[in-house]
């Protein structure tokens, strides 16, 4: 989920929706699965962040903050759960042609020559 616009002009409700979906939901899912992983003393958590979790983009404030937060959450979990033999990894894809670009909350189009188009990609797991 993304909302574009300057941070100063971002309504609190929009901010909260982005943080809830991109960060809080991952936190809650993690709390749900960690006890079982700890019991087994094994597991890997793979979170999907974004290049927006490694660098900021003007007009994408709430999105970038949520993705930077996801990076911090993942790194903290990796340190905390290492003793339980649980690994945490983060995938940071670049621009992917998904329906996010066609929503009323995103007033931008970053689809360019480096954009990934899933329908053109091949999948090894079919």
Instruction: State the catalytic residue, choosing from 3, 60, 63, 68.
Output: 63
- No. of H helices and E strands in the chain? 3, 2
Closest CA to 53 of 10, 90, 7: 90
**Chain CA centroid to CA 79, Å:** 19
How far is 75 from 14, CA to CA, in rounded Å? 26
How far is 37 from 40, CA to CA, in rounded Å? 5
Reduce the DSSP state of residue 116 to 3 states and report it: strand
Closest CA to 45 of 17, 9, 76, 66: 76
Catalytic status, residue 63: yes
DSSP summary character for residue 43: E
Catalytic residue IDs: 63
């Amino acid at each position: 989920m993304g909302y574009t616009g300057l941070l100063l002009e971002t309504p609190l409700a929009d901010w909260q929706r982005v943080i809830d979906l991109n960060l809080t939901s991952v936190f809650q899912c993690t709390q749900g699965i960690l006890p079982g992983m700890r019991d087994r003393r094994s597991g890997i958590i793979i979170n999907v962040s974004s290049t927006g979790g490694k660098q900021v983009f003007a007009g994408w404030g709430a999105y970038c903050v949520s993705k930077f937060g996801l990076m911090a959450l993942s790194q903290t979990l990796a340190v905390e759960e290492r003793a339980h033999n649980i690994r945490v990894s983060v995938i940071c894809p670049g621009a992917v042609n998904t329906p996010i670009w066609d929503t009323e909350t995103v007033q931008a189009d970053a689809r360019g020559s480096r954009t990934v188009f899933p329908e053109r990609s091949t999948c090894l797991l079919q």
